[in-house]
A and B are shown apart, each in its own frame.
Chain A
Amino acid sequence: MLGFSGVSIFLAYILCILSTVFCIIYGVVMWNKDK
């Protein structure tokens, strides 16, 4: 998976991206809400 041998590392890699995506979506949604 993505070239990793361990499921744990694959999960960490994906979670890093997903948590950043959450920060982006949260920021954009709240930005529009705060306007």
Chain B
Amino acid sequence: MNIPLLSIIIIIYLLVIGYLGFLGYRGTKSDRDFNIAGRQIHPYIMAISYGATFISTSAIVGFGGAAGVFGMGLLWLTFLNIALGVAVAFIVFGKRTRKMGLNLEAHTFPEFLGKRYDSKFIQVLGGVVIFVFMPLYAGVVLIGAARFIESTLNINFVLALAIFSIVIASYVIAGGLKGVMYTDSLQGTIMFVGMAALLILTYKSLGGIIPAHQALTDMASRVPESLAAAGHQGWTAMPALGSPLWWSLVSTIILGVGIGVLAQPQLVVRFMTVKSNKELNRAVFIGGIFILFMTGAAFIVGALSNVYFFNSSGNIAIAEAGGNTDLIIPAFINMAMPQWFVYIFMMTLLAAAMSTLSSQFHAMGTSFSRDIIGTGSRTSENEEGQKPRNGLLVTKAGVMLGIIISVILGYYLPISIIARGTALFFGVCAAVFLPMYICGLYWKRTSKAGAVSGMIAGLAVSVFWMFFVHKANASMLKLVVVLTGRESLFGFPWNAVDPILVAFPLALIVTIIVTLFTRPVPAAVVEKSFK
């Protein structure tokens, strides 16, 4: 690795990021500009920004490494990411969200839900959920990126963490969502080029698409006994139905992430950044291709790395990585790919981390000011221009606070808890927001009491299941171990069921039942929402 050359590439990249952040700063005159990019974003920028925010380094390295262990079964997650995360999200949810967000003059996801149900409580609790759980998710990405910079550029970890945080903070605070989305579009383009090249080079190095798959199929006898006992049937077959591996793959990885993406506050707000539904229609085209090459490439390459490692050293991927799944993709890149590609992949990972983090920091800042403090959320967008920019100052303070909390959590919390940050955030968001989001968009009758009840039930069940039942979380969070001496209150398969599969359906049922027995939202609010 030529450190001076990589440093020059990174400096040029940061200068371009700085310029794009400056463009965002120059175009940010009001709360609406800072929070939702003035509702004027180009469909290419919107689609790439959505994808780049969604795909972090953990999706490429973490889940790509998981594919090295589980095999190609993760492609079901790629399918859900495209079908639910792009097609359904943009067409079924996105269009109504954009229109309703405009009617209600909402700038954040909790504000959107709060105004739809005429409930300040929903807005504040939604903001608190984001501000409490999102720093855990941001902490995962932040610490991973700082470790990556530390190892590639040979600089001190704390220095890497500080520089990285300051760079992102500067363009988020100066440029608002315009700065975030302009830089996302560059970062997403780098990611697309990097991952598309990785997929093509991998297939080429293994003799083509079908020969590569066949070689992986022929390795089924190489599955370690411990994995075979847990249900592993080879890297081109799903684990045995109902086995522990099957539950881990289907429940936590495929459904947990596949459903969880629909209620991510930093993604939903993207729908409110475009001028009309025309832009969303065009964004579907770009988003589908982008996600296919992001997660599809990571999962296929992760699984196929087994063939490369076996041919070159006689080991399977997880053995080559010393048992650490996070090292499978980096080890494969360093050993199997040409030197020039290593630099491209470094930039891909840096771009993936920065694009996800900038949106997380922005979402935390806007939630702090609009939802928790309440700055500007009762001001009409038409009046906004004549008011002093106190709202922006509070939002920027919220961004800073969010970054500081994320850094502190990431630095001081044990790695076992930080490693669960992504799953915790996805699970809580799906349980708390998704039932009332779906009902709010498609069921005019949904009542405030129904939405609030579903929200509280979702939060309570989700947190309970994480701390006391779902073994992967509960054994790391330790509370159930301290109280009962066991790793879960229930046995298999309940302890393998992801919280999202229990909390989301329960919250949806509670929302519907309570709605049927309570007064609907005032007609004027419903009329304004759906006009």
Contact = CB atoms under 8 A, between A and B. Distances in A.
A2 B87 contact: no
A23 B212 contact: no
B284 A27 contact: yes
A2 to B, nearest CB: 6
Interface residues of B, number: 39
B75 A19 contact: no
Interface in A4-29: 4-6, 8-9, 12-13, 15-17, 19-20, 22-24, 26-28
B164 to A, nearest CB: 33
B82 A20 contact: yes
B75 A3 contact: no
B285 A27 contact: yes
B271 to A, nearest CB: 16
B72 A9 contact: yes
A12 B236 CA distance: 11
A8 B220 CA distance: 16
A15 B237 CA distance: 16
Contacts of A2: 209-210, 213
Interface in B262-295: 278, 281-289, 292
A9 B233 contact: no
Interface in B282-314: 282-289, 292, 296
A5 B234 contact: yes
A24 B285 contact: yes
Contact of A8 (B87, B238, B282, B284): B238
Nearest to B71: A9
Interface in B24-57: none
A17 B212 CA distance: 18
Interface residues of A, number: 23
A34 B281 CA distance: 9
B236 A9 contact: yes
A23 B87 contact: yes
Contacts, number: 102
A20 B292 contact: yes
A11 to B, nearest CB: 9
Contact of A22 (B87, B210, B278, B282): B87
Contacts of A24: 285, 288-289
B315 interface: no
Given A5-B237, A6-B236, A9-B73, A19 B281 contact: no
A34 B278 CA distance: 6
B233 A12 contact: no
A27 B82 CA distance: 14
A16 to B, nearest CB: 5
A6 B91 CA distance: 32
Interface in B197-238: 209-217, 220, 233-234, 236-238
Contacts of B288: 19-20, 22-24, 27
A32 B283 CA distance: 14
Given A19-B83, A26-B87, A31 B285 contact: yes
Contacts of B73: 8-9, 12
A16 B298 CA distance: 13
Nearest to A31: B282
17 contacts: A2-B209, A2-B213, A3-B209, A3-B216, A3-B217, A3-B236, A4-B72, A4-B213, A4-B217, A4-B236, A5-B220, A8-B238, A12-B75, A15-B79, A23-B287, A27-B283, A30-B284
Given A9-B72, A9-B238, A13-B72, 11 more contacts: A3-B216, A8-B73, A8-B238, A19-B82, A20-B82, A20-B289, A23-B87, A23-B284, A23-B287, A26-B284, A31-B285
